[in-house]
Structures are given as C-alpha cells and as structure tokens.
Amino acid sequence: MNDELAGLSDAELARLANDGDIRAFEEIYDRHASGVGRALASFAGPDEDVLDDLTQEVFLRVINGLPSYVPIRPFAHWLYTIALNVGRNHVRGRRTVVFVDTDEMRNVAAAGNAVKTLPEEIVAKALMRLASRLPEHLLDVVSLRIGSGMPYGGIGEVLGIPEGTARSRMHSAVRILREKIGLETQGQGGKRGEE
C-alpha cells in the first residue's frame, strides 16, 4: 500500500488509474479485493480457484470500465455491480448448482449450540455455498450484505431497489437458509412461519 495514495478516495484513485497510474489501480485492488471475493463466494461454490478467477475477472472489467465510471455514485457501488454481474454470468454459464451437504448441516444444527463452536469461516463458507441455491434476487442481497458487509441502503442503490426491499429480501433469504439447515423449527414453538 502506498502511503501517498492511501489517503485518496476511491473516486480519486479511479481517475488516476484511468489516466494510467498503475499504483492507483493497485490501491483500489488492495482496498476491495477481499470484499469482492467474499461477495462472489456464493457464486463460486467450493472451488477457491474459481473464486480467484471470478475476482480477477471483476478487476479486469474494472480496468476496462474505468473510462465509463462517473463518480456520481460511490465507487464501491459501481464495483459491486460489476461483481454481481460476473457472479450471475458464472452461475448462468455453468448451469450446475453447488450443494452443501444439508444432512451434515442438520447434524450440526441438531447438536444445539454446536454451530456457535465451529470456526466462523467454516460456517460462513457453508452458508454461502448453500446460498448459491437461492433465487437470484435473494442471492444478490445475501452476497452484498454477508459477503461484503454492505449496508442495506448501499445494497438498494446497487440493485436499484428501495432499502426496505433489500431488508425484506435478506429476511426471506435468511428464513429459507434456516429452513434448509433445519434451524427453522428448533425451539420456535411451531409459530416460526407466521412473522
């Protein structure tokens, strides 16, 4: 990371990178590669090489698209729109779905609080793989919220939906994921589906 560039905004870095400053692009990459990778995890499935390839594709598209970036929207929203498009294209192109072993997840769920004792990374990866089975409109919200930690307002801007719709879609996705791993009925007194 270059100290001189570290204080610049993403929009300023994008302008410099568009003018050919490789260090500015490297700074953009350093700032956003891990978040983009987390956002793409549910699209990539369990293969780390596929995830790396998708992440690289996003940044190649960023390089090619910098001349079209207009800083009226936050750079991160533009970047994550590209990431979602890359992820969607990958899923559409492969036409196979990555499955998490739901029996294994149910066994974990049946162990009571065992989910809390598993390393967070393992649980997160399993849930993101399971999320790959969600409908696209829900998967987009999950990828941005859980994968990159984007706030609901930002998700709404990226997807062109109201913030409340982003929250509602996340709630629906969480409900579906809980059902798939058998958590929905545990300790819920039978009234869980009536929210």
Question: Where residue 170 sits, what CATH number does that domain have?
Answer: 1.10.1740.10
Can you tell me which residue has the tokens 């941005």?
144
Domains: count for the chain: 1
Residue 78 lies in a domain: yes
Interatomic CA distance for residues 137 and 66, integer angstroms: 26
Interatomic CA distance for residues 63 and 137, integer angstroms: 27
pTM score > 0.75 for this model?
no
Measure Cα distances from 52 to 22, 63, 133 in Å.
20, 17, 21
pLDDT, tens digit only, all 195 positions of the chain: 567 888 899 999 999 999 999 999 999 999 999 999 988 887 887 778 888 999 999 999 999 999 999 888 889 999 999 999 999 888 877 644 444 444 444 444 444 445 555 566 666 666 666 777 788 888 888 888 877 788 899 899 889 999 999 999 999 988 888 887 765 444 444 444 433
Residue 191 lies in a domain: no
Residue 175 lies in a domain: yes
Interatomic CA distance for residues 130 and 45, integer angstroms: 9
Residue 193 lies in a domain: no
Residue 96 lies in domain: 3-185
